[in-house]
Copies of this chain bind each other. A is one copy, B any other.
Amino acid sequence: MEFKKEFNSKKEYFEKELKNYIPKIEGYQKVLFESMKYSLDAGGKRLRPILLMESTSLVGGDVEECIPFACAIEMIHTYSLIHDDLPAMDDDDLRRGKPTNHKVFGEGIAVLAGDGLLNYAFEIMINHSLKYEKESYKYLKAMNEIAKAAGVYGMIAGQVVDLESENKKIDKDTLDFIHMNKTSAMIIGALRAGAIIGGADEEQLENITAYAKNIGLGFQIVDDILDIIGDESKLGKNVGSDLENNKSTYPSLFGIEESKKIAKNLITEAKYYISNFGNKGDFLKCLADYIVDRDY
């Protein structure tokens, strides 16, 4: 399978759909919509929506049904980046090769654009659920997965502990808590929401969740490795910021080579869980490999 080609075609498909869900740039609050669109358009891998869509089709569902949820999870991911880049948090000037949101629109609008994207994500999911009364309970369950993943026992918890851990030595348990919540939670949420929309049974959902946990942690470890040895121009962001901020990471705790090994093992395990789906799981298997093989 030409994985990269397939990945890009899914990405293009998603980005075309996403356009329909971005508010029109008009009205008194025009600058808000410009700011939201600026960060949504900034690209990125679109990993979470692609996982969500793939999970729906993996269990035999119709991808069209899950599009609003895929857009919603990308909006939530995007809002978290906007707020994460703020001076009061990571204080980053560059994201995906472009100036960060607050550098362009100012801090006040950046805060509100983040708030707007989070709220709008729910609006989109709710609207879609209202359209199909008979399916609405299923959509509500999918929405629940995304809300939990993004929330105070998920992504936000990870961000808080990450922020509190700057310039501190932290142990592996704390680091795992950060990774589990800051990164894995939304990957798990994406895959579980997609599977629920596709009509997964309990066993399928368990396998998908196990796959998600493993690629989630693997993804974060590789991100931390790339922050040390990655190529700034390929990554589109400053490297070395973890070191600068004295952040504890897998590479700083275990060294780069050992961290690479841990990531590879996680990916092997992830692929095991997806093997239950036969050929249909090929894309997700390749995606797992891609996560550790990105640019190093």
A118 neighbours in B (Cβ, 8 Å):
115, 118-119
A114 neighbours in B (Cβ, 8 Å):
115
Chain A contacts to B: CB under 8 angstroms? 23, 27-29, 31-33, 36, 79, 83, 86-89, 106-112, 114-116, 118-120, 122-123, 126-127, 129-130, 133, 136-137, 140-141, 143-144, 147-148, 150-153, 156-157, 159-161, 163-164, 174, 177, 181
A136 neighbours in B (Cβ, 8 Å):
136-137, 140
A123 neighbours in B (Cβ, 8 Å):
144, 147-148, 151
Tell me whether B160 and A119 are in contact (CB under 8 A): no
Docked complex Cα distance between A112 and B32 (Å): 20
A112 neighbours in B (Cβ, 8 Å):
83, 156, 159-160, 163
Docked complex Cα distance between A151 and B33 (Å): 12
A122 neighbours in B (Cβ, 8 Å):
122, 143, 147
A33, A88, A174: most-surrounded residue (chain B CB, <10 A): A88
Name A79's closest neighbour in chain B (CB-CB).
B115
* Of the residues B129, B144, B177, contact of A140 by C-beta under 8 Å: B129
* Of the residues B88, B126, B152, B156, contact of A144 by C-beta under 8 Å: B126
Write 18 A-B pairs (CB below 8 A) sorted by A numbering: A28-B174, A29-B160, A32-B157, A33-B152, A88-B106, A111-B111, A112-B159, A112-B160, A119-B152, A122-B122, A122-B147, A123-B144, A126-B140, A126-B144, A126-B147, A129-B140, A136-B136, A136-B140
Ranked nearest first, the 7 interchain pairs of A and B with the lowest CB-CB distance are A88-B107, A29-B157, A119-B151, A116-B152, A32-B160, A88-B108, A29-B160
Name A170's closest neighbour in chain B (CB-CB).
B28
Docked complex Cα distance between A120 and B157 (Å): 12
Docked complex Cα distance between A137 and B206 (Å): 27
A107 neighbours in B (Cβ, 8 Å):
86-88
Tell me whether A152 and B32 are in contact (CB under 8 A): yes
A130 neighbours in B (Cβ, 8 Å):
137, 140-141, 144
* Of the residues B36, B79, B151, contact of A120 by C-beta under 8 Å: B151
A31, A112, A153: most-surrounded residue (chain B CB, <10 A): A112
Tell me whether B120 and A152 are in contact (CB under 8 A): yes
